Structure 1
Amino acid sequence: MARGLMRAAFGREFSAQDVPRGGAYVIRHFDAGRFAYREMVLPAPLAFTKEPQSDLVVVRVAGGRVQRTLGREQGTFAAGDSFLGHVPGRPCSGASVDLYASAVTLPGELLARAVAAVAPRGGRPLRFTRHAPADHRLAAHWDRVRAYARSVCDLGADDVPLIIGPLADLLANAVLQVFPNTVVGHEPLLADTRDATRSTAVRATAYIDDHAHTDIGLADIAEAAQVTPRALQYAFRRHLGTTPMAHLRRVRLAHVHAALRAADPLDGATVTGIAAQWGFLHTSRFSAAYRAEYGRSPRDTLHG
C-alpha cells in the first residue's frame, strides 16, 4: 500500500534511503475524483524520475528541501515555496531531503475545462512559462485555496458532495491565475459583452434554482445558459448587481432557512449539519451571511 502511494507520487522510478531511527515515510492521500490531495513526510533522501502523464501537480513545501528538473527548467524549493511539480505531457525528475510537503493533483481534463472557460473560442495552447507563482501576492492566494482544499479533504467527499465540483474548478482556475502561462491575461472578447443579456441572466437563475441541491459551479451554469463564464458574470453584474456564485449561495441560504424552520432540534437536527448539507462549511461565515440575510441567527431560527 505504502509503495503504491509512493509510485503514485513519484512514478515507478524512485529510490529512497533507509529512514533514520525514529522516523517513517508517511503519505496521506485523498482522492476526490475531480482532484487529489496528498501530504508527504519523507525523512530520508529520495530521488525520483517521473514519466510524462496527463495530470498537473502543484507542490507546496512545508519543510525540508526538494530539487526538481522539468524540461529545461530546474529549481530548488524550500519551506514556504509552491511550484509546479509536474506538467501534463512532460517528464520530471528530482530529489528531496527531509521533505514535508503537500501536493494537489489536477487531471488534464479539468485543466482543459478551465482553459476553455477562459478562452472558449480557442487561441494559443496552454503552456506554463514559469513554474513558480508570478509574485508573492499570488503565491499567498494559492496557499489559501490549497488550505481550503485540505479542510474539505479532512471532512471527506461523502460529507460535502456540493463542494467537490466547485472546489475542483476553483483549484484549476487558481492555477491559471497564479502560475504564468500563455492563456490567462488576454483581453475579454467583444462577444462576451454582447452575450451578457437579461435573457442570459434569466436562463442562468432558472438553472440555479433547479440545481442548487447538486454539485454545480460557474462553468455548469454558463453551459446551461449557453454563454461563456465571462459573459455570464457580465450579465449578472449588469442586470442583477451580483455574481452567479453569490446568487447560488443566496439560493442555498434560502434552502437552509427553510430546513431550519422545519427541523426539530429534539430529533437531533443541528445548524452545522443542515448548513453542511447545502455546502456551508465555515460556521462563522455561514452565521454572518445568514444573519445578514434574515436578521437573526440560524440557531434562533432552529429553536424558534
Structure 2
Amino acid sequence: MLSTLRFESKDVTRVEETWKQFVPSAILQNVDPRRFRFEWLSAELEDMTVVEYELAAEVRSVVEPEDQLLVCRVQSDRVDLGSGHVGIDAGHPWLTDGRQVWGRWEDDAKVRALIFDRTTAQTLARRMSGNDAYRVRVKGLAPTDQGAAEQWERSFAYLGASFAHAGAEDELILAGLRRHALWVTLTSFDTGFREALEGAVQLRPATTTVRRAIDYIDENAHRAITIDDIAGAVHMSTRGLQYAFRRSLDTTPAEQLRRARLDGAHRELLHGRATTVGQVARRWGFAHPSRFAAAYRAAYGVAPSDTLRRGKGD
C-alpha cells in the first residue's frame, strides 16, 4: 500500500514531529520565525520510503538507523557531514546501514533520501542476485565513483516523479519502482552486490527453463511480479535467466513480461471492459500513457483508443 504525504509549514512543532519520524535525533536550533519554512514530500510503502524536503533553519542532526538502509543527499551552501571524526563529501549521496552519520547546516537545504527495511531489502537483494548467501553490508559511506553518484541522483529524480504520480492501486508499477530503487542503491555503493551478481550466473539447459519461465509470466503478468520473481519461480538467478532467454529467444525476461502485459491490456481493451486507455495502461504496469500508446501501436498496428472504441461497439 502506498501512502503519500505533502505539506508546507512554518509551524516548528509540526515540522519536528514529522521530521523525527524519520530522523529521531534531529534538532532544530536558533529558528528564525521570519525565514523558517519547511516543504515536505514523502511516498511510503510497507518496506520503503522516498523522502524529499526543503528546510530553512539551523540544523543539527544525527542518524543511526536500526534495521534499515538509509541513503541520503543533503544540498546546502554550508553543510558539514561526517561519521565519527571522518568527514563525508557533501557533494555526493551517502549510505549507511547502521553507522552513525551527523550533519550540520545553517542555511536553506534540500534533502533527498531513500529508506529501506533491511530485512525486506536483504530478501529482494538475494533474489535479484541469485545468491542466497549474499548479505547486504555497506563497506563505505560514499558512492563507488563520480559516475555512480550521478546515476543515483538521476534515479532518485525519476523515482520521486514516478511515486508522486503513482496510485495506491498501481501494484505493478510500485513493484518495479521498489526494485529499481534498491538495485541502483546497491550498485552505486560498495555493498558487495556487484560481486554477488558476477558469481551467480547459472548456465543450465535453457529450453525447459525458458518454457517454464514463459508459463509463469503468462499466468502471473497481471500481478506485481518482477524478473527476480520469474527467476525464483524457475530456481535460477536473474542473470542466468537473462542469459537463457538471450540464448534461446534472443530477447529478455523483462521484454517477455512487458509483451505479456501488453497482450493483457489489448484483451481488456478489445473486450470493452475499460473506461479509458489510461486506466488500462496503469492497471497493466505502464506508467506513461504516451509510451504505452507507442508500444501498443508498434505491436498491434492501431492506437489503443481505436481498439477501445471497437471493443465498446462504437
Contact 1:65 1:76 in 2 (8 A): no
The residue that corresponds to 2:178 in the other structure is 168
The residue that corresponds to 1:139 in the other structure is 149
The residue that corresponds to 1:108 in the other structure is 118
Aligned counterpart in structure 2 of residue 270 of structure 1, from 262, 270, 276: 276
Shift of 1:114: 4.3
Distance 2:244 2:85 in 1: 43
The residue that corresponds to 2:99 in the other structure is 90
Instruction: Classify the secondary structure of the residue corresponding to 2:81.
Output: strand
Per-residue displacement from partner, 1:8-38 (whole Å, max 9, x unpaired)? 2322353333145143123322212231011
The residue that corresponds to 2:8 in the other structure is none
Distance 1:104 1:52 in 2: 12
Per-residue displacement from partner, 1:104-153 (whole Å, max 9, x unpaired)? 11121233134423261536x54334433333433333233222321232
Matches within 5 A, 1:1-304: 2-61=15-74, 63-70=76-83, 73-78=86-91, 81-84=92-95, 87-97=96-106, 98-116=108-126, 117-118=128-129, 120-122=131-133, 125-185=135-195, 188-189=198-199, 192-195=201-204, 197-263=206-272, 269-304=275-310
**What is the alpha-carbon root mean square deviation over aligned residues?**
2.5
Distance 2:122 2:186 in 1: 11
- 163-172 or 9-18: which moved more? 9-18
Pair 69,154 (structure 1): closer, same or farther in 2 beyond 3 Å: same
Q: Give the aligned residue type for 1:68.
A: L
Instruction: Classify the secondary structure of the residue corresponding to 1:204.
Output: helix
Distance 2:81 2:66 in 1: 16
Contact 1:30 1:37 in 2 (8 A): yes
- 292-301 or 176-185: which moved more? 176-185
Per-residue displacement from partner, 1:261-284 (whole Å, max 9, x unpaired)? 22278xxx2111110111101122
Structure 1's unaligned 5+ residue stretches are: none
Pair 286,9 (structure 1): closer, same or farther in 2 beyond 3 Å: same
Equivalent residue pairs, number: 295
Distance 2:299 2:147 in 1: 32
Pair 89,82 (structure 1): closer, same or farther in 2 beyond 3 Å: closer
Distance 2:272 2:224 in 1: 23
TM-score by length of 2: 0.84
Shift of 1:294: 1.2
Instruction: Classify the secondary structure of the residue corresponding to 1:18.
Output: coil
Pair 138,14 (structure 1): closer, same or farther in 2 beyond 3 Å: same
TM-score by length of 1: 0.86
Distance 2:257 2:69 in 1: 29
Contact 2:72 2:114 in 1 (8 A): yes
The residue that corresponds to 2:11 in the other structure is none
Distance 1:252 1:128 in 2: 36
Instruction: Classify the secondary structure of the residue corresponding to 1:194.
Output: coil
Instruction: Classify the secondary structure of the residue corresponding to 1:192.
Output: coil
Structure 2's unaligned 5+ residue stretches are: 1-13
Pair 52,255 (structure 1): closer, same or farther in 2 beyond 3 Å: closer
- 233-242 or 68-77: which moved more? 68-77
- 91-100 or 131-140: which moved more? 131-140
Q: Give the aligned residue type for 1:168.
A: R
Residue identity over aligned pairs, in percent, reads: 30
Distance 2:173 2:102 in 1: 34
Shift of 1:186: 6.0
Contact 1:31 1:37 in 2 (8 A): yes
Instruction: Classify the secondary structure of the residue corresponding to 1:103.
Output: strand
Contact 2:28 2:57 in 1 (8 A): no
- 18-27 or 207-216: which moved more? 18-27
